[in-house]
Structure 1
Amino acid sequence: MGSYRCECDAGFIGSDCQVYRSGFECTTTGPNSCRNGGFCSAEKNNNTCVCPPMFQGLYCEKDVDECSTSNPCENGGTCVNTEGGFVCLCTAAFEGSFCQHNDPCVSMPCLNGRCIGDPATGNFTCACDHGYTGIHCDQDIDECSEWGEALCYNGATCVNIAGSYACECPAGVTGASCDTLMEMCDPNPCQNKGICVDRLNHFECSCAEGFTGPTCGEKCPEGERCSCSANGCLNGGQCRNNGCECPTGFTGEYCEKKLSPCEMTKCPFGQICVENNKTKAVSCECPAGFTGFDCQREVDECSTNPCQHGGTCSDKLNDYHCSCPSGYSGKNCEKIVDHCATNPCLNNGLCINAARGSICHCTPAFFGEKCQFKRKPCSRSRCDNGATCRPTADFRNYTCECKPGFEGKFCEFDINECKDQPCKNGGTCYNTHGSYSCICPEGYTGKNCMENIDDCAKNPCLNNGTCIDELANFRCVCQPGFTGRTCGVDIDDCASNPCLNGATCVDGINRYECLCRRGFSGRDCHVNDDDCRPGLCLNGGRCIDAVDDYICECVRGYTGQNCQIHVDLDKFNETDKLERSLCALSGCDSKAGDGKCDSECNFYACGFDNGDCSARGEPFAKCNAASYCAHVCNNEACLFDGFDCVPTTPRCPPQVADYCRSHYADGICDNQCDLPGCAFDGGDCDTKKPTTLSGDISIVVLTTPQQFVKHVGMFLLTLSQKLRASVRIKSDEDGPLVFHWNGRPSPKRIALPKDQRLSVQFGGEIRLKRSVSNVGVLVWIEVDVSGCHGDCFSDVDTVANYLGAANAKKRQGLNPFLKDLSEMGMPIYEAIARHPDATVAVSNPDGYWAFIIGCFAILIVIATTNLLHYLKVNKCYGQDSIPIIYLDLKGQDWKT
């Protein structure tokens, strides 16, 4: 009571805030910088802010209330303080930034018009509505007295009314200006095809030829021509003998053209006829810019004082020019200059136009004369942890908008999100600064472990397989023809061996294709093509279909591939009798079947010692004419006559022979060695599809395992050349089928080098020498006849028969084939053919002691019957009718 207390601004202390407190000096930047357009000035070693007039305070942060010190608004205006300024709310009849201008139009002085006021002078001008005139637009214009008949047509009477006029129309016309004729031709009153012409309150008929009268109801006098009757005179014209006589205002042959008002008006003294477009009235007027009785006096356009707001008028010919005072523009200086047209107020400030200039009313975020200064309440904010400072609506303060994970007035507190257990599906929550993280179990992902990981997102299923997402896993539904976890495995449609008869299976996608050997066809090559055609076999021979071949079974007395050769069989009767007598002489009946091969009984007539020399079989059982050979033996049944009927295989050229021997069957194709004599480089260059005979052959070679491993390539080469086929060692999952042999098979295998080729191709000639005892190697071979042309074996039985016959002939020193193997140190002891569904009986051959007896018996026969000639002619006996030795394989597993 009776005292006061001062609340000091920052930087001042004391009872009257008179003491400056150090540490609050201003800076050019930072929280102590001057605001609202102020600038920092150094004075007495203290930096202080120099503020613009509308702000104050240590940093110019306080707005000056201009309305509190004195009221700047005139004429009773109310002052309203704003940020960085003020606004005057004026009373009626005043306007302007300070309510300094009087509005003369407030009293509405213009009774029938629009008031145009000049606040600077207090004057006004009335722009009268149509039909009124006078300073206050209070005088009605009598249009009827000034324009008369020009306003109303067709003899109508003009009646003046307040602000306008009205036309009273005579009978037959209508409309506001009585310019619309009523319809007088409906219905048509004209007879005899006359044409009706509508007139004011009446009609006229234009008669057809031969008729006349008001309605064309009268015929023309006989012998006279009615003038104008064909088309008639229009618009009230009178028909005369020389044509139509037109009334005033019309012209033309039939009075069809109406003259305009000005065409009927002649103006004196150089005046011009003017037609009113609206009323169609005409008048004679002086040219623009002139007046007077004779139009000789120039009009003074400034006489009506058209320039407003004190503008100066300058007269011109038919025009004038107003020089406007400052703040006004327009033809008559009627427009107040818009100082806001240039948008002087920045930052969306509202411009208020006035005669002396413009005033900017700023938005809360800006201040200054042109709203050029921005308020920055966030420049000294305390918002923490990356929070966003937001100014308040009046830009006097600010609030902190926290980032997720923080709270508090200044976002200074971290929120523990884990207390709400945001991690789902068993995820573990860990609180972090301003957030949290979830450790998800397998199969889940996402911020809160709510998303099942799409294991199909990377398209793991190949070959158009359909991926099915599972928890921490996926499953592929494969297209037909594919399998595997990701459908990446092409199902081998050839795995079931669908192709028969040695065909090659080519795997496809969900399908297979069989490449048949020649002679077979069908989807699975199961059809043996019939190679027999009518007329192939001659002289009554019967055609038997084979694989890509045929065989002619000839009647007795004919031979050849097509039974085309006739043979006199009777000449061999004596030979057969002689051979049977030799069998009797040697006592072969008593020796037959004793388990020993008696050479003197090893003839066709003696049954090959009842099988003792041929493993209880007949090598020439398939040959229908074992007694004559010169023309018959060259076929498979007779073992191709030992290939005596085919050309000798050429030798390897000497210039490349050594190279080809060292590079033989090394897996690399040497083109210079790809010749028949060089054994076609051991098959290194062979790309032909193999044609393997069904079954295989077991061979006992009298050599040591070491010697066999060393020369196995040469062994296969020799067999290949002599059999005219490619020979290879058979293998199973454990390796090549090569075993120890000591009078009987042994389960112990012989290991071959990994780089040893197990097959060779037909052809070639290389020899080594060695001899061994009766200990050997048992090897299983397969025969491929794809490289053979002409005389070729068709089954493994014939191959085994050929090897057995050649082995027996070798004992007589007459077969060079097995002689090569013997000199190599690898003679053949036994050979047997075997099919997948066959078994072989045990057969234990004796030694070769009977060979001496056989030779002695043969010498006796030669001495008595000239057997040498006999043997020369009958090669089936001389070379190939030799016992075949078989290996006992009972109990041996068959491997494919």
Structure 2
Amino acid sequence: MHAIGQMHEQQRTDRDNYIEILYDNVPANQRRNFDKEDTLDRTPYDVESILQYPLTSFALNPGRPTMKLKDPRLEALVDTAQTFTHNDLKEITLAYQCAAECQNAPVCENAGFVAHNCRCMCPADLTGVTCNQVSTDTGCGGVIELSSGESQTIRSPNYPNAVPVDRECVWLVKARGPSNSNIRLTIQELELAMDSRNTNCYHWLEIRYHLPGQTGIKQCNTEQANQQITTTNDGERNIMILKFDSKLSRDRRSSQNHKFSLQVEAVGGTLVSNPCNPNPCKNSGTCAVTGSNYECTCPSGWTGTTCDVKTQSCQPNPCQNGGTCNIIGNSITCVCRPQFVGPNCETLQPFLLPENFVWFAWDIFERNPSLWKPDLIDSWDRSSQDSPVAILLQTMLVYDSNGRPHKTRTVVHEFMHAIGQMHEQQRSDRDNYIEILFSNIPSHQHHNFDKTRPTFDRTPYDVESLMQYSLSAFSTNQNSPSMKLKDPRLESIVDSSQTLTFYDVKEITTAYQCNGCGGIINLSAGQQQLIESPNYPSTYNVDKECVWMIRGPSTSNIKLTIEKLDLALNSATSSCYHWLEIRYNLIGQTGIKQCNSLTNQQYTTTNDGEKNIMLLKFDSRFSKDRPAPQNGGFKLKVEALGGSTTTDPCNPNPCQNSGTCTASGSSYTCNCQPGWSGTNCDLASQTCQPNPCQNGGTCYVYGGSYSCQCPPSYGGANCESKEKLRNINDSSVKKEL
């Protein structure tokens, strides 16, 4: 954001209307970070912005703040954004006129704005072409429009009975008429599931009274009868968004008294209005007019813009595992560290794929098939499509309901698409390695298995690749696969990689002709090759990791000759800052590390493990703060010793259980005896004839085994067990339900 010209939020020209700088707690040499700049302020001041400093930044006394919000109810939003907020994106779009060339662009409502794709970008929970609709569960929520002085009641689903769990209800409340109307919320009744130990909310009502594109305050109860909250005049004052959430903590039940009843009213709306008439300050607060706005002086024990927030305390801190305690409304809320969840941050939970995650179809990147090429960064239709990188960024900005980014695997997978990579099962050579079981795939999903687009297949088919779908992907019957490997022994590694595999990296490196270092070196018997440090013969680069795998014929050994080796050395201890690791014994074992060497020092792989493989790794990253010596670097020679120059893949015979081996170039095929299958005839064949599934079960062959799909009321590997049906009136069943 700084790189494209944006300043810190607390340095905006209008910042004094929203925040107070407490200079007495800021060191003199850091006060420049709070200097006001001549900013254009195209969007409202957003305390949630990624450019808003934490309220304790640069504090002399870390226990005291350096900034104080005029509306302390919003303090919990500061320093919570992990990426651009709605108003951050709006500011960028306006500053760079990203939508200036849009023709017939829609007129966006309710704080939405026209984005670079000429469509409205809506605040969270709003949708529709012009952001005039809400994204809400069926049977609750909606759009409420009020004339000045008109009011309406909003009640929780199932009222007056307990609120249902696993629901999200969104209401957009708008005032008709003059834009200077406000929306006033009166909380007549509010009690939702909460942690009684510290008043944290399990279920809550979110109230966006400040900016529609900003997260609202969250409450699960009210200690004050008819508590009132009125929209501020900072943004769209005639709009309030309310959201009831019992979905995030759906494992927490509601009791009979958990419900809410609210009243919303459009107030004001005259061309000239006195903001202190009627008095907006609650609990005997005193109102003072400041231009078109007002300021409340609150009595002891109350705070907030309208003196409607009872003073709370975060001492002692109820938030566990390093969580941060914040006061929101009348409740204390914990902001948890990554992977910790729960009202008190008490539970460690792995990353989850978000419920609203969208898989971006390959078609958005596709060109004319006859012109298709892997580098799609410069080949998308700019007039009607987002760029692959823009799509990638949108994908990466999706978070789950706990505010955590979704799996790294998904991000990297979509990035592979963005740079032109197809799914592994869509490769041109896929039929040599995998069988597509179209009979178990819905017809409208067959396109996910098409191999009509040309692929270059620069690397071997890799079932472990991040681009290989799971074997049950899109299957009609989830108990049966949609794909079957020709070598079923490899099934366990499908869908297991969380990031790029070795061959994924090699494919990218080859496709884009990356000028990196390392790689795979295949040597025939007697062949030699030189390996040099990056930038050789000049000084090598710091902050590099380079790995070479040297392979020879299966009966050969690999010999390394070090012609030159001069890397950064700790002369005091004779230990290496930068080093060359040599794995000559076992490739799965850490190798010896050297940073200097005698001339022509040699290493040869042992016969204990993979004698025909040696791994070399250059590391100047671990101690990247240490400079390389002048003209430092290395020059190595690797050679395959012994071994036949031509290898017979059938000698010795790899086919087990009396299978017959047939050579095909450098590969082989096994003809297996009856009762055996697999690449090496090492899998006992399973069959569904005769059917091993009892009691009418259906048999499926899967890999080298079979599985039974049992009819209702039967279970077990062969459907041999009749499951006991329990009476729905049984008290234990009722308790479980």
| TM-score with structure 2 setting the length | 0.16
By relative contact order (CA 8 Å, sep 6+), the higher-ranking structure is 2
The TM-score, its normalising length taken from structure 1, stands at 0.14
